[in-house]
Structure 1
């Protein structure tokens, strides 16, 4: 694993718990892929994350 990949994975540790629950339940917005999730420059605010990823 290289630094870039590790950095992307670490960012997911700040992912909104409600986003995690919805992904786990299979409730994923159209167009949200693994790649998009890993590449996204997500804000720390959970409401903003939901908007940015299409959960709102």
Structure 2
């Protein structure tokens, strides 16, 4: 049981990193990133940071 929880946490972290990378590459269209973030209620604490990656992406 503990192993399954650890695997889920690792996969969740990997998905989070993938989304951030996608947001960095999708500079011209940041809205899909915001929608994907809002679909994950488990990461409510990260929703506040949702605007930061897109803001940095637009500056670059």
Which structure is larger by alpha-carbon Rg, 1 or 2? 2
Q: What TM-score comes out, normalization by structure 1 length?
A: 0.29
Taking structure 2 as the reference length, the TM-score comes to: 0.28
Write 1 or 2 for the structure with the bigger share of helix.
2
